[in-house]
Amino acid sequence: MTKRQPDLSVFESLESEVRSYCRGWPTVFVHARGSRLRDERDRTYIDFFAGAGSLNYGHNDPALKRALLDYIGADGITHGLDMATTAKRAFLETFRNLVLLPRELPYKVMFPGPAGTNAVEAALKLARKVKGREAIVSFTNAFHGMSLGALAVTGNVVKRAGAGVPLVHGTPMPFDHYLDDQVPDFLWFERLLDDQGSGLNKPAAVIVETVQGEGGVNVARGEWLRELADLCHRHDMLLIVDDIQMGCGRTGAFFSFEEAGITPDIVTLSKSISGYGLPMSLCLFEPGLDVWEPGEHNGTFRGNNHAFVTATAALETYWTDNRMEKQTIARGEQVEQALHTIREEHPRLGAAVRGRGLVWGIEFAERHRASAVARRAFELGLLVETSGPEDEVVKLLPALTIPPEELDEGLRILARSVRETT
């Protein structure tokens, strides 16, 4: 008996045309646990999307759910703006003791609003205030958010066009490997900085992702990041690392920049910092940069106490030692091996594999093929998204907690999807 088609009528008739993910996954989801989702037709799906990286610990993690239910059951504060609450105190103390102090990071913590783009806006505003300069340097294929300041340092032409107004005070530079290693790193950037006739206003800051997720899973080398940090120091520019998608353990260590051995001046976090998919973002910065006036940057939903509760539980559950980091690296090796096998089995596709930790991408020379693979994967019970300027990369973001056998099952579906769309 054929299962009934999902009823999508209210979404199609009432919801804005701006919706996107639901077009690639035309079903109605009803249940989720760990790395599996189920829809109204009782079909199950393995999740290699993880809420665009906001569910590093999977759906409805038991420890996080229990902490949240207990807090709600006790009538804990829900909405607090920037008022002091027990939930915020517990998070700040836990974040300091389990994340900042072990890494000898001196950062102050700012709660700028619920989304990653709020953290980016705060970082850009703070850098300009500290340095008294307007210009910000970003990188080709970067993605930093959908509000105007964040769009100004984003590379994607379609997303930028959606602004509808000029996006100013941002200058793009080549990301690592962008020029196919034909030009020494930062030669052009440094020449512009040194030349009084270059037309480049001296930047207040440089903003960078260590791995460009939306840009196509482009991975910066550690030496490239170290050279960038040195360049910023020599030219009196602040270094902002956007760790919104790659932080909270996605690449292995809690912060994605740890492996490079650098200490950014400002760091933005969001997505998986709450651990449960609840809106929350942080802007971290060196204490000497804390020049804000009270209320100078604020937001109604910067005090999401439910997110503080689950964030604290996530840190206490997964970050008291280095087991999560080791597990992520091991799972990443499992993914890497499977993707290389796919590439070797289909040499005519001209596929390229790249990633770190548990963020991986397989790029196809025929740009349309990635979308075809993602569609077939959905039909077979796997959720994957595409990324890159032409959606030419199948991007894998499985939960860090995914069991190896489920990870392998999803990778087999991906391999079949590639095989059946060639």
Burial tier of 309 (Cβ tally within 10 Å: 0-12, 13-18, 19+): buried
pLDDT at 207 over 70: yes
The tally of CA atoms less than 13 A away on the side-chain side of residue 400 is 32
Q: pLDDT at position 37, please?
A: 98
374-408 exposure pattern, b = at least 16 Cβ within 10 A, e = fewer: bbbbbebebbbbbbbbebbbbbbbbbbbbeeebbe
Taking residues 86-113, what's their average pLDDT? 98
Q: What is the Cα–Cα distance from 315 to 247, expressed in whole angstroms?
A: 13
Q: What is the Cα–Cα distance from 370 to 365, expressed in whole angstroms?
A: 9
Taking residues 227-256, what's their average pLDDT? 98
pLDDT at 317 over 80: yes
Taking residues 149-165, what's their average pLDDT? 94
Q: pLDDT at position 422, please?
A: 86
Rg of the Cα atoms in the chain: 21
> Strand ranges (DSSP E) for 9-149?
29-33, 36-39, 44-47, 108-110, 136-139
Q: What pTM does this model have?
A: 0.97
Token reading at 220? 């910066």
Q: What is the Cα–Cα distance from 166 to 152, expressed in whole angstroms?
A: 9
Q: What is the Cα–Cα distance from 85 to 67, expressed in whole angstroms?
A: 16
Mean pLDDT across the chain, nearest whole number?
97
Taking residues 113-117, what's their average pLDDT? 96
pLDDT at 175 over 60: yes
Taking residues 71-92, what's their average pLDDT? 97
**Would you say 36 and 56 are in contact if contact means Cβ atoms under 8 Å apart?**
no
Q: What is the Cα–Cα distance from 420 to 90, expressed in whole angstroms?
A: 50
> What is the amino acid identity at position 129?
K
Q: What are phi and psi of 139, to 5 degrees?
A: -135, 155
Q: What is the Cα–Cα distance from 367 to 375, expressed in whole angstroms?
A: 14
Q: What is the Cα–Cα distance from 39 to 419, expressed in whole angstroms?
A: 26
The contacts of residue 206 (CB under 8 Å, 6+ apart) are 136, 137, 138, 228, 231, 232, 237, 238, 239, 240
**Would you say 133 and 139 are in contact if contact means Cβ atoms under 8 Å apart?**
no
Q: What is the Cα–Cα distance from 351 to 324, expressed in whole angstroms?
A: 30
Taking residues 146-152, what's their average pLDDT? 96
Q: pLDDT at position 4, please?
A: 78
Q: How confident is the model at residue 152 (pLDDT cuts 50, 70, 90)?
A: very high
The residues that bridge with 108 in the sheet, in sequence order, are: 285
Q: What is the Cα–Cα distance from 393 to 221, expressed in whole angstroms?
A: 20
Would you call 274 helix, strand, or coil by DSSP?
coil
Distance of CA 320 to the CA centre of its chain: 22
> Strand ranges (DSSP E) for 270-349?
282-285
Q: pLDDT at position 3, please?
A: 62
Q: pLDDT at position 1, please?
A: 39
Secondary-structure breakdown of the chain: helix, strand, coil percentages, each rounded to the nearest 5: 40, 15, 45
